[in-house]
Amino acid sequence: MVDITHKVTTLREATAEAIVKTSGQATIEAIQNNEVPKGNVFEMAKAAGLLGVKKTPDLLPDCHPLPIEYTGIDYEIDGLDIIISMTVKTIYKTGVEVEAMHGASVVALTMYDMLKPIDKNVEIGTIRLKSKKGGKSSFNINSEGLTAEVVVCSDTISKGQGEDRAGETIIKKLNALGVESQKSIIPDEAVEIIKKVENTTADLLIFTGGTGVGPRDVTPQTLEPLLDIKLKGVEEQMRSYGQERMPLAMFSRSIAGIKDGKLILALPGSTKGAAESMDAIFPHVLHAFKVIEGKRHD
């Protein structure tokens, strides 16, 4: 299966449509009057559709098992066509498009099976995804024109005695989002951190390192007094995401805030910690720039 462990959990919704085509008005009337020999077509097909949604990962090899938290099935009769609408919702890391389409397919097949004794020309028409929402594409995060500076805070690396991996990981993730970025390295000194905040010309300033509880970890207490606004929700998201993957993430003192219209972040110095913090909040954290400009939330 595709690895989705790096994704964040959001409300996912998908609606699929299937069409059953009958060949005569007599078939439609038999359904409406509950005169189909095999039973109530709408109710039987609905029950089958619910099972179809739940059984999707059992039949499709690469489909992740996930909690189905809502399934809605609606019918519309349009002439000799029966239009099936299947909506599925979950709060999870991946979407429910396949579940919705599979459920709609099972509803259509059930109808076909129940109607074929009275309508030899019944057939299944289009099965398609009508809509989906809840993934990254739903939030329309625009990173065009944004610049970033990544600052590695490390006594060892600044002396040339170690290799930076966390900063490079952050740069790679920023580049993938289309954010132009550059990197610098400084020791774990408050005065150097302050200089970076005062002198950067980038829209986004990301520090990596110095967020633990060691005697030289000074990044959070240096940055906090400088911020105009603290983004506590962003900080909570980073720690919550990390804690789900590593029990020691609770010791991280990651920081997020705004200073003079610039977004400032302080992430862990470990490569994995930095990568997970980026996964936890990007690209959604870039919405801050829209709010800074005075625009409303969507």
Distances (CA, A) of 232 to 150, 239, 253, 265: 21, 11, 11, 11
User: Which percentage of the chain shows pLDDT scores above 70?
Assistant: 97
Alpha-helical regions (H) of 55-96? 56-59
Residue 294: which pLDDT band, with cuts at 50, 70 and 90? Answer: low
pLDDT above 70 (res 296): no
pLDDT above 80 (res 223): yes
Top-ranked range on mean pLDDT: pick from 33-47, 136-150, 283-297 = 33-47
> Which pLDDT does position 142 carry in this prediction?
79
Cβ atoms of 171 and 150 closer than 8 Å: yes
Q: Could you tell me which residue, 208 or 137, shows the higher pLDDT? A: 208
Fold of 10-138: Alpha-Beta Plaits (3.30.70)
- Spatial neighbors of 100 by CB under 8 A, at least 6 apart, are 14, 15, 16, 53, 86, 87, 88, 129
Q: What is the mean pLDDT of residues 215-233?
A: 96
> Which pLDDT does position 90 carry in this prediction?
97
What whole-number distance in Å separates Cα of residue 267 and Cα of residue 260? Answer: 20
For the record, the structure tokens of 107 come out as 């509803």
Task: Compute the mean pLDDT over every residue in the chain, rounded to the nearest whole number.
Answer: 94
For the record, the structure tokens of 121 come out as 């020309």
Specify which residues 13 forms β-bridges with: 89, 133
pLDDT above 80 (res 182): yes
User: Which percentage of the chain shows pLDDT scores above 90?
Assistant: 89
What whole-number distance in Å separates Cα of residue 32 and Cα of residue 267? Answer: 62
What whole-number distance in Å separates Cα of residue 100 and Cα of residue 52? Answer: 9
Fold of 147-293: Molybdenum Cofactor Biosythetic Enzyme; Chain A (3.40.980)
For the record, the structure tokens of 251 come out as 């010791």
Distances (CA, A) of 261 to 22, 67, 144, 200, 267: 62, 40, 17, 12, 19
Residue 199: which pLDDT band, with cuts at 50, 70 and 90? Answer: very high
Quick one: which of 186, 177, 9, 42 has its CA closest to 114?
Answer: 42
Residue 179: which pLDDT band, with cuts at 50, 70 and 90? Answer: very high
Would you say the C-alpha torsion 236, 238, 242, 248 has a positive or negative sign? Answer: negative
CB environment 95-131: b (16+ within 10 A), e (fewer) = bbbbbbbbbbbbbbbbbbebbeebbeebeeeebeeee
pLDDT above 80 (res 298): no
> Which pLDDT does position 297 carry in this prediction?
52
> Which pLDDT does position 143 carry in this prediction?
84
Spell out the domain ranges in the chain.
10-138, 147-293
pLDDT tens, position by position, 135-173: 766 666 778 899 999 999 999 999 999 999 999 999 999
- Type of residue at 297: H
Q: Assign residue 261 a region (left: φ > 0; alpha: ψ between -120 and 50; beta: otherwise).
A: left
Cβ atoms of 2 and 57 closer than 8 Å: no
> Which pLDDT does position 140 carry in this prediction?
67
Distances (CA, A) of 295 to 91, 259, 281: 28, 18, 20
> Which pLDDT does position 291 carry in this prediction?
81
> Which pLDDT does position 129 carry in this prediction?
97
Q: Is 113 a catalytic residue?
A: yes
* List 3, 58, 81, 113, catalytic entry: 113
Residue 54: which pLDDT band, with cuts at 50, 70 and 90? Answer: very high
Q: What is the mean pLDDT of residues 222-232?
A: 96
